């Protein structure tokens, strides 16, 4: 069961890596209203908890498509791109 921090970390990562849309801007505004600030480890995909990575992957698949999501997630996890 995800906790609030996992959810916020996943949405922060999605907004940071896929920025530029109205949706990601709304995410950033909502996280700011919640007072969420990522820990230094949460500023990279590799630093997210397993649950936050799962939530992030689901966000990418939902909003960016399965193929793009899988490729980009794999490259980010390896530290390339």
Mean pLDDT by 10 residues, the chain (81 residues): 89 90 92 94 88 92 71 65 48
Q: At what angle do helices 4-17 and 50-64 cross, to 10 degrees?
A: 50
Give the pLDDT of residue 48.
93
Dihedral sign computed on CA atoms, order 44, 46, 49, 54: positive
pLDDT of the residue at 69: 58
User: What pLDDT, on a 0 to 100 scale, did the predictor assign at position 73?
Assistant: 67
């Amino acid at each position: 069961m995800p906790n609030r921090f996992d959810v916020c970390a996943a949405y922060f990562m999605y907004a940071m890596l896929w920025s530029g849309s109205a949706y990601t801007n709304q995410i950033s505004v909502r996280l700011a209203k919640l007072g969420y600030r990522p820990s230094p480890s949460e500023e990279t995909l590799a630093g997210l908890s397993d649950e936050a990575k799962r939530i992030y992957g689901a966000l990418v698949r939902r909003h960016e498509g399965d193929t793009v999501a899988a490729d980009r997630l794999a490259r980010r996890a390896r530290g390339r791109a």
